[in-house]
Structures are given as C-alpha cells and as structure tokens.
Chain A
C-alpha cells in the first residue's frame, strides 16, 4: 500500500472524527436534557467506537486507549447494565471534550493532551463502568510497552467480554496473531506434521463455510493426505439434508505449528469436532469419540463435500501437483452408494507448493455502489482566492454601476427615459449579484457556537457553578472572516458571564433562583448586521462596586455623576477589572477593553445592559462582511473622506465658545461636562495649511478602539453610505491616518480614515490657538 492513499484515508479519518465528535456532543447534550432514547446512547457508542476503530488502524495509541475506556462505559450504558444518570452524562460530556483533545493532538492540530486531565477522566469513566474497582486489565494496558499497531485489540481482550459471558461454553483459546503470518513466529513446530480429524457440524455449512476451502488452507501449510470417512452416511430415504455425517482425516507433513493448523479452523472451530495431534505421536487413527452418530446422509452436506472435492481437484490441477503419497485406505464403504454422481471418495492431496489462492485478477477501479442520498446539500470546494477575486470584481461592478447612475442623473435625462429605467434594473441586479456573492463567503455561526458548550462546562467546573448554556440562531450566516474573529470575544464574554455574572448555587437558591444558572448565546440578523447576544441570569453589574473601582483606579473623578449606563460602560475601560482576586478564568490580562477593541476592529459595536439581581446582556453588532463598510462620507478641504460609522458616536455643530486650548496650545472641545481633544482632519491629513473654520464646520465625536473619545473637525458631512473597501497597502502603500480607500459614485477615490491613528497622531499636529482664532 503506498503512502499516498493511506494519508488520504487518514485525512478522511480526521474529517470523519470531526463529524463524529459533533454527533457525540449533540447526542450527549440530548441525554443531558433528559432524552432516554436508546438510539441516542447507541449513537454515542457508535461515534466513540468509530473513532477508536479508525485510530487503531492508524496506530494512534493514546486516542485508542482513551476511546476504549469511553467505549467500555458506553457499552455498559447501552446494555442497560448501568443507568444513564445525570452525573454519568456530565462525565461523558467532559470525556467527549478530552476525546476531542486526543483527536486534535493525534492530528497534530492541538497541544498534547494534559495527561493528568486525561488520566483523571479515564479513572472517572472506569469508576462508573466498574462501580469503583478499577480492573486490573487497565493497568496491564497502561504498562504494556509493546503496545503497537496490531496487538491493540488483543490487549483489550480481557475486560471487554462482559461479565455475563462466563456461563457460555468455554471458548477455545484465541489464535495468536502471529499465527496469521506463519513465517514470523512458528510456534511449537513439530517434526513430522499433524494428524487432523475433522467432523463438521451442520452449522458449519449454514454459515457458508466449506470443507474444501479448509482443506485448501491446510494444503498451503504442507503436503497433505486426506481421507474421507463416509461410513456415517445413512441411506437416501433416511437422509436429513440438514445434518452432517462426514469425517475427514488429514495428515499434514512439514513443520507447520499447531497454531497455524488451528488457525485454519479459526472460523469453524465452534462448528465442528476437531482433533489435532502430532503425526508421529498419533499411532491411533480412530476418530474422536464424539463422532459416532449414524443418521441419514445430508444431501446438502454431500453436495458441499462434492463441491469441495472438486475444488481440491481443480486446485491440484491448477498447480500441477502429482500425488506422492499413497492414499490412506478408505474405510469400509457405505451400505449402498447413496448419491450417484459425485460419490465422495478419499482424495489424496500431494505435496502442494504453498498454493496461490485462485489467482487474484488485476485490480479494477470500482465504482462503488451509490451511497444513499444523504440529506446534506450538494457542495463544492472552491479556492478562497477565487471567491475573493469574484468579490473584488463585483465590488468594481457596484462602483461602476453607481458611476453610471450618477452620470445619467447629471446628463439631465428624464427619469422615465429608457436609459434611466434600464439603469434602475441594472441597479437591482447589481445588488442581487452583490448579495449572492457575499453569501458565498457566508457561513453559519454554528462553527463558533459549537465550541462553546465545552467552554461553559469547563468554566462551570472551575468555578463550581451550575450552568446551562442555551444557544439559538446557530444557522445565522455571516462572512467567514467575521466568523473567524468572533470566537475570541464570545469566548471571553461567556467566561465573564459565568465567572462574574452568575452566582454560586447557594447564593442563587438564597436569591430565589434555580441553582443552575442560564447563559444564553444568540445570533440574529438585524438591519443588515449580525447581532450576537450573550445574556446571563446572574446578579447583574454591581454599579456601586464598579464605580468604586473606577475611582480607585483613577479612571473617573470621585464626584463624577454618571448614569447607570455610563457606569456599566466603565467595564470596557482599559485596565478595569471587577475581579477582586485573580481567578483561573479572569486575570489573564484580557479585559473587556480588549473584547471591545476586537469587536471594533471588525467594524462592530458592543453594548451592555444590566438589571441588578436579574442579569446582564452583552450585545455585539457586527457587519456581515468585511468587504463592505458602513461609512460617513465627509468633506475636508475639498477632499472627500469616509469615516467608519462604527467609530462615530454622534456629530454636532460646534460653538466657538466650546473650544478651549489647553495651555494655550492643544485645542479641546467641551462636550457634556468633558473636554475632548479636537482633531482638525484637513490640517492633520495635510490637505490644508489653514485651520478649518469653526463656523460652518462640523464635529464628529468618535471613539477609538481603546475607548478614547475625540472630536474630529471637518467641513461638512455629505451622508452615510456603504462603501466597497479597497486596500491601500495592496494597491499603493500604507499611509498614516488612512485605513483603506474606496471608489465613490463619481469615480473618485476616497480615503477611509483610520480614526485611531488620526486621534493619536493628530492631537500633536492640530493647529494652535492663534491659528484657530485666525480661522474663526
């Protein structure tokens, strides 16, 4: 087998693992919410079993070990020997998480699994499986250094057989694996070969085994002499076609081991009487004692036997072997010949070279049987780069369409003219194409939401709180790039909701709430944006404390009069943390300010609402795509610029009396009891060496990603619109204060302002008091 197809299958395996782990989780969650459907338990078992099976095939030992313990417990649940109660489901959920970790580690996509965590869960699973007593076999498993590719299944043997089996007849010892590869480990090789007495039971034929094939296998081990005892055959009228009456005695020469000989009968040992004795020690030629019933000859068995004999003959012919040994003398014949045609006769099989099986024909590419039409929609995989190229082209189309529309308007054509009407249709079509193309990159937020139940479980475990996660809107679609960057903020806010928002079970009960807290994660579309809500039913924001901390940290003045909303928003300030002590969850140096920054970098907004005692809700509002931006088109020194709408808090016409100069130099704008740095956009961008006139000017209050507010002074606000983002770096080079560019309807390039850069560098470059006064 070449490496390539094997690697391809391995890739399939990991792909399948993803699906299986998804199924596993959703089925376990169904169990958690009270499902008692046995099919759900079966599905969980199958998922774990399949992961184990594939992992075994690829020699992923750690994964196999863990999956095995998991599977063993599932087998107990499946068989009803163990009840599927709440603590068990909780352990299973955490085991599913660790299983996912093992898969990720095996794939090379994750850090190695924490051995303590894994071992801890193994212990939990085993305790649940065995009611406390860890089986000795597990220790063997762990200690077995030779744990390798093939022996896995064997090692697991001891404790997989359910206890209830003990009353079954003793099974013959399982054949050693080595026996399957005869030359590797010949066991107990005996000089002079073996004498085998074989009497099939009717069942042997019922399971489509054939004596002829067994003889063929024996012939592969060495020269054989075969004798058929058909003395047990009854008369035709007394014949029961379902019975079996023939006995074969085979003498096998050569140095085949007993295990090799037994292995030939591996599939049928339960369905026959079999004695295997060393040939040189076997003076007696009598059949095993058990073989002495004299019932009617089975036609079917006869036919089988005949077929078998023919097979041997064919085989002999095919290898051109000549009988070398005298056939063993046949036993006295049957009372009368029963079946005319293929009378079973002793067949001598001469030294047969380790025979080739019926020559394997050349491999043929095989169209597999059509898989049953799955419910999954038909999809194709496309290079992302191609999609981006198309999105780019559609962006051009949108711009071109806007330009055309503007030209037509300017030309003074009547609105009812054919051209104007045709243009309207074009506009609709363009919009439709744009939407469809954007939809190609759109994916349901499911991929992000799916990771959250696990996170919630881990947080709950760490904080000792009881938490239920309720998600909705998983199918809400949003651009791939947005999805990729959603995971971190959501993770952080969920952690916060559990760590800070929810109370412990006792506190909740005392407050008249259920001990188990609920955290809701929802996604929905609202006016062209995606809204993500993270809500908890915890204690809400402690405003007194938040304000206290803000004062303590010097973030606000002690006597500052803040509305509830403003206090709530303090938690977004850099350096703010309500955690009194650094726990495992918080205190990682990531505050809500970081969350807000990452949301804003996506062109999104975050808001919070909180009701004391009832809980808090964080709302994220994000654009559906990063290819299009909601912008405010403004004019500054005859240049048209675009300010990202997400950064704009509000706009106003400034009053000269509100402008002050700190130290006579830095201009600031008095805005609701606060002074904001005033940034003269035209001056800062170098469009003008004259300060912008305050009279007739407009100020936009903006907020930077770090939450810092500033006032941007421009000449005029032209309006709000969606613009197609064009990278300036990709087409030109990075320009300080400019985030990107776009093309307006009139075909002109407009720069999109980088508010953060503008605010931080602009303050130092704003015109001084003298210049400002000159202009006003």
Chain B
C-alpha cells in the first residue's frame, strides 16, 4: 500500500527536495507550510508518516508535534524532525514533544528515505 508522508516546512526549496526524494522512493507526499497548516492537512489527509521542520512562522515544529500528539488519532503516527545534527537541545525538545526521530539537514535523499523507512510500520 502506498504510504502518505506529510511534510511541514516553510521553505519551498526544502518542500520540493523532500517531495522529490520521497516520491522517487514511492511515497505519496502531501505538504504544509507551517505548523498551523500542518495540523489542517493532518486532519484532511491522515498521513502515515510526518516530517516537520522546526523553525516556522505561525506555529513551529514543537507546537505542531504537540498539537498532533494531543489528538489520539495521531498519537501513534511517526513524526520525523528535520534538524541539524548538532542541535542536541532541539532534538531533546522535539523528543519531549513526541517526535519519533530526526532527519539531519542537509539531508541526502538516501538517508531521508532510510529514516522514513525506519519509522514506517
């Protein structure tokens, strides 16, 4: 079954890169531009996996993950956070918010897909 990935990122460049890599790997991709938008698309699309950026306008990645986890329907959906490897504090905060794992920026497509695959049931 084709899995749907929701990407939440305010950078168009990043959204397109994610889209390209994930589609090449056979995923269906839906996009959102920030946390608020992400929660909307989440409800509409019920994705199997979510990838979210941290720094976004309106609602950042932490707020988005918390909002997502607060809804029982999405408490078990894996969320990967786009982060810089060094960001230990961000990883910790993301983990506390309920993030499943992280993707290191700048990512290369193989590692991105690998990370998605690892958390995809």
Contacts and interface: CB of A to CB of B under 8 A. Distances in A.
Interface of A: 1, 5-6, 8-9, 12-13, 15-16, 42-43, 45-46, 49-50, 53-54, 56-57, 149-150, 152-154, 156-158, 160-162, 165, 168, 171, 174, 177, 180-181, 203, 206-210, 212-213, 217, 266-267, 270-271, 311, 357-358, 360-366, 368-369, 371-372
Given A206-B98, A212-B121, 15 more contacts: A1-B109, A12-B16, A42-B57, A49-B55, A50-B55, A54-B13, A160-B86, A161-B86, A208-B76, A267-B119, A362-B26, A365-B23, A369-B6, A369-B32, A369-B45
B12 to A, nearest CB: 5
Contacts of B102: 267
30 contacts: A1-B20, A5-B20, A13-B13, A45-B55, A46-B10, A54-B11, A57-B13, A149-B108, A156-B84, A157-B85, A157-B86, A168-B88, A181-B111, A207-B98, A208-B75, A208-B79, A208-B119, A213-B119, A267-B118, A270-B92, A271-B95, A358-B120, A361-B3, A363-B24, A363-B27, A364-B2, A364-B28, A368-B19, A369-B32, A372-B37
Contacts of B1: 361
A221 B98 CA distance: 27
Given A207-B100, A213-B119, A16 B55 contact: no
Contacts of A50: 10-11, 13-14, 55
A366 B79 contact: no
A562 B61 CA distance: 70
Interface of B: 1-3, 6, 10-14, 16-17, 19-21, 23-33, 37, 41, 44-45, 55-57, 69, 75-79, 84-89, 92, 95, 98-102, 104-111, 114, 117-121
B19 to A, nearest CB: 7
A637 B37 CA distance: 73
B103 to A, nearest CB: 10
Given A50-B11, A165-B89, A369 B105 contact: no
Given A49-B55, A369-B41, A153 B98 contact: no
Nearest to A155: B86
B58 to A, nearest CB: 10
A365 B23 CA distance: 7
A416 to B, nearest CB: 61
A15 B16 CA distance: 13
Nearest to B118: A217
Contact of B78 (A8, A180, A208, A362): A208
Nearest to B32: A369
Contact of B121 (A1, A16, A213, A360): A213
Contacts of B92: 168, 171, 270
B87 A160 contact: yes
A476 B82 CA distance: 41
A50 B10 CA distance: 8
A16 B69 CA distance: 31
Contacts of B29: 366, 368
A28 B14 CA distance: 24
Nearest to B11: A50
A181 B108 CA distance: 11
Contact of A46 (B56, B69, B107): B56
Nearest to B102: A267
Nearest to A55: B106
B100 A46 contact: no
For the complex of A and B, list the 10 residue pairs with the smallest distance between their C-beta atoms, beginning with the closest. A157-B86, A56-B106, A267-B101, A360-B26, A13-B13, A54-B13, A57-B106, A153-B85, A369-B30, A357-B117
